């Protein structure tokens, strides 16, 4: 009876234990299901360049990262994240080809409650993923390039092989011995082959055997390693991961590096890992602007690579001497022709003259002054030459006064400005010459102040030296001149007439190039005349004043860039 009771107690205890375990498992599954049912937000998608030409994709989440699945082939990879949503600013397409890694394009898109990230690359990749509390870090490692049989070239000495259903290990051993190699194979290399090759390069024969058996080779010195392709790839991936882990565990050291020619702040930006630089994620860089020094802290290997990069970049920048010549040619011609004439006479009690006063004086027997005798008074102001004629008839008292005046002014000039400036490669240089014109400007309080506007001839140029020592010039040339004076509420103001040339040219070192120029021509014809009478052919010339102005102005710009040699 006691044995039965003991057995019942044992059975009851076991049953209760299983019940408790079942409840715990059920509760755990429920909690996991609830956790998985929550949608996690992807807050940031970042890409950086790692060591050994690796691409590092970092995904940041608002909560614990969910499961990450990856499918990949030679040129495409796709990451799927269930129960996640992209932040609005992360739904985009990223061109990462500038990072210098085999990855070219990253595209994120939302598929209901699943986030998908498509990646395009130029070669097959090994993919390593690592999860932290709030991130997934996915590393894309380029697989070693392999020769394909169609493009491979073989240089081994010819051999002949004829075997029927022999172990592949035996054939590999023969090839290794013929070429003084020590052969190492893994346990997974097995199976038989049948081959019949005559005078075939030994490396081509080996490649064919490896291909049909799904094997691959690695040569280190005089050791030939043969193993299945997947096994070698897995081992190499493990080695890379171990190297990366070793780098993450390597002790951090500090070193100060002085920058001689470049700005230390710019070099620091290039070195930082967040910008795809040389330093690792654990590394840091600080800048001492006073001494232009970088304060590096990272592993010894990363600092060594950073110093190599700085040595290549911290070099004197080439300079360009830019000689420019601005020639302004002016040619102005001003022609004027005027006339003054008057008819004075008396016939009985009727008198004729240039004014009523003059006519009254004639009736009184007094000859009026010349200015009162003129019927048409259209002379040339400040005339250079005049011809006057007076015809008088004393019998009937008739006087005819006639004066012709003419003026011709020629204004020709040439202004040459020849500024020079030396500028560093890919830096902007600016030259200007002119005046500042004052004008009155009112403020909101009603007070007035004097402001200035520039009326200058300016040249803005940015040189770019090409690898073959030619020079690309980005040029902006402006010519501002004083224009008309206009009336404003605060007083007269001067308008600024602006002309501008913007161009890009490719010039040989030391070559002079003509940028063309700006040509202005103004033709003006002003006629002052007596209505109707001034329009009569030939005779109408006695009733009008004519002014003809011809103005020509041309700006020519010559530029000669010269590379300043050390």
**CATH number where 293 lies:** 3.30.1370.120
Neighbours of 29 (CB within 10 A): 10
Strands 55-61, 93-95: pairing kind: unpaired
Cα pseudo-dihedral 319, 560, 323, 428, rounded to 10: -50
Q: Average pLDDT, stretch 344-348?
A: 68
Structure tokens that stand for 429 in this block: 């240089």
Instruction: Give the pLDDT of residue 351.
Output: 65
Instruction: Give the pLDDT of residue 386.
Output: 63
- Token pair 């049912």: residue: 37
97 and 240, same domain (yes or no): no
77 and 209, same domain (yes or no): no
Q: If pLDDT is split at 50, 70 and 90, which confidence band does 563 have?
A: very high
Residue 48 pairs in a beta bridge with: 56
Structure tokens that stand for 490 in this block: 């605060």
Structure tokens that stand for 424 in this block: 């560093």
Per mean pLDDT, which range of 107-116, 232-241, 287-296, 326-335 is the poorest?
326-335
Q: Average pLDDT, stretch 106-118?
A: 89
Instruction: Give the pLDDT of residue 288.
Output: 92
Q: If pLDDT is split at 50, 70 and 90, which confidence band does 220 have?
A: confident
31 and 56, same domain (yes or no): no
Q: If pLDDT is split at 50, 70 and 90, which confidence band does 394 have?
A: very low
pTM of whole model > 0.85?
no
441 and 463, same domain (yes or no): yes
464 and 373, same domain (yes or no): no
238 and 107, same domain (yes or no): no
Instruction: Give the pLDDT of residue 275.
Output: 65
422 and 374, same domain (yes or no): no
- How far apart, in whole angstroms, are the C-alpha atoms of residue 152 and residue 144? 15
- How far apart, in whole angstroms, are the C-alpha atoms of residue 132 and residue 324? 61
- How far apart, in whole angstroms, are the C-alpha atoms of residue 541 and residue 537? 8
Residue 416, domain member (yes or no): yes
Structure tokens that stand for 88 in this block: 């609005």
Instruction: Give the pLDDT of residue 533.
Output: 73
Instruction: Give the pLDDT of residue 566.
Output: 65
User: Taking 70 as the threshold, does the pLDDT of residue 31 lie above it?
Assistant: no
Per mean pLDDT, which range of 77-86, 253-262, 280-289, 548-557 is the poorest?
548-557
End-to-end Cα distance, the chain: 111
Burial category of 480 from C-beta neighbours within 10 Å (exposed 0-12, middle 13-18, buried 19 and up)? buried
Residue 26, domain member (yes or no): yes
User: Taking 50 as the threshold, does the pLDDT of residue 148 lie above it?
Assistant: no
Count of domains observed in the chain:
6
- How far apart, in whole angstroms, are the C-alpha atoms of residue 118 and residue 351? 108
Residue 527, domain member (yes or no): yes
- How far apart, in whole angstroms, are the C-alpha atoms of residue 241 and residue 232? 14
CB-side exposure of 525: number of CA atoms within 13 Å? 2
The range of the structural domain enclosing residue 72 comes to: 40-142
Instruction: Give the pLDDT of residue 348.
Output: 64
Instruction: Give the pLDDT of residue 372.
Output: 66
CATH number reported for the structural domain that contains residue 93 in this entry: 2.60.40.3470
Residue 227, domain member (yes or no): yes
Length of the chain: 566
If one compares 165 and 517, the residue with the highest pLDDT of the two is 165
Residue 329, domain member (yes or no): no
Question: How much is the mean pLDDT over the chain?
Answer: 80
364 and 419, same domain (yes or no): no
25 and 76, same domain (yes or no): no
464 and 398, same domain (yes or no): no
Tens of pLDDT along 423-461? 999 899 998 888 888 877 776 666 777 788 888 888 889
Helix (H) or strand (E) holding 236: helix 229-249
- How far apart, in whole angstroms, are the C-alpha atoms of residue 256 and residue 266? 16
Residue 542, domain member (yes or no): yes
Instruction: Give the pLDDT of residue 509.
Output: 92
120 and 195, same domain (yes or no): no
Instruction: Give the pLDDT of residue 152.
Output: 59
436 and 530, same domain (yes or no): yes
Q: Could you tell me which residues come within 8 angstroms of residue 348 by beta carbon, excluding any fewer than 6 positions away?
A: none
User: Taking 90 as the threshold, does the pLDDT of residue 159 lie above it?
Assistant: no
Percent of the chain having pLDDT more than 70? 81
Residue 152, domain member (yes or no): no
Residue 204, domain member (yes or no): yes
């Amino acid at each position: 009876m006691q044995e039965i009771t003991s057995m019942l107690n044992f059975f009851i205890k076991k049953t209760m234990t299983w019940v408790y375990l079942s409840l715990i498992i059920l509760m755990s599954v429920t909690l996991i299901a609830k956790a998985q049912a929550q949608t996690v937000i992807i807050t940031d998608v970042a890409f950086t360049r790692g060591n050994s030409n690796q691409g590092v994709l970092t995904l940041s989440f608002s909560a614990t990262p969910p499961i990450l699945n990856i499918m990949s082939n030679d040129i495409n990879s796709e990451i799927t994240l269930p129960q996640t949503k992209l932040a609005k600013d992360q739904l985009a397409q990223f061109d990462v080809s500038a990072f210098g890694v085999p990855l070219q394009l990253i595209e994120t898109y939302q598929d209901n409650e699943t986030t998908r990230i498509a990646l395009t690359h130029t070669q097959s990749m090994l993919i390593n993923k690592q999860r932290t509390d709030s991130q997934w870090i996915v590393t894309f490692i380029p697989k070693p390039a392999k020769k394909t049989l169609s493009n491979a070239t073989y240089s081994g000495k010819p051999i002949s092989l004829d075997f029927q259903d022999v172990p592949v290990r035996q054939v590999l051993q023969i090839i290794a011995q013929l070429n003084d190699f020590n052969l190492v194979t893994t346990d997974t290399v097995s199976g038989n082959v049948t081959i019949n090759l005559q005078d075939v390069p030994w490396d081509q024969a080996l490649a064919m055997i490896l291909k049909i058996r799904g094997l691959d080779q690695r040569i280190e010195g005089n050791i030939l390693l043969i193993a299945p392709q997947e096994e070698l790839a897995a081992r190499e991936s493990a080695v890379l991961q171990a190297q990366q882990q070793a780098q993450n565990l390597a002790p951090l050291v500090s070193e100060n590096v002085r920058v001689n020619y470049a700005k230390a702040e710019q070099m620091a930006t290039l070195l930082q890992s967040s910008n795809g630089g040389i330093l690792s994620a654990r590394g840091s860089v600080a800048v001492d602007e006073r001494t232009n020094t970088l304060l590096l802290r990272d592993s010894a290997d990363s600092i060594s690579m950073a110093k190599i990069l700085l040595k290549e970049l911290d070099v004197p920048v080439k300079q360009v001497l830019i000689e420019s010549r601005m020639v302004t040619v002016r040619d102005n011609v001003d022609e004027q022709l005027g006339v003054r004439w008057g008819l004075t006479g008396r016939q009985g009690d009727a008198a004729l003259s240039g004014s009523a006063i003059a006519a009254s004086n004639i009736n009184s027997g007094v000859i009026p002054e010349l200015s009162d005798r003129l019927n048409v008074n259209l002379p040339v102001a400040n005339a250079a030459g005049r011809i006057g004629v007076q015809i008088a008839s004393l019998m009937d008292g008739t006087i005819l006064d006639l004066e012709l005046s003419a003026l011709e002014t020629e204004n020709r000039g040439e202004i040459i400005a020849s500024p020079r400036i030396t500028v560093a490669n890919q830096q902007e240089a600016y030259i200007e010459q002119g005046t500042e014109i004052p004008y009155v400007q009112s403020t909101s309080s009603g007070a007035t102040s004097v402001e200035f506007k520039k009326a200058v001839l300016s040249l803005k140029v940015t040189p770019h030296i090409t690898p073959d020592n030619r020079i690309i010039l980005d040029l902006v040339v402006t010519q501002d001149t004083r224009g008309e004076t206009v009336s404003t509420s605060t007083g007269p103001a001067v308008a600024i007439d602006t002309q501008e040339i913007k161009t890009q040219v490719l010039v040989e070192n030391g070559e002079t190039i003509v940028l063309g120029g700006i040509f202005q021509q103004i033709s003006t014809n002003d006629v002052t005349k007596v209505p109707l009478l001034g329009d009569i052919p030939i005779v109408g010339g006695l009733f009008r004043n004519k002014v003809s102005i011809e103005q020509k102005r041309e700006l020519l710009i010559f530029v000669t860039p010269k590379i300043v040699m050390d």
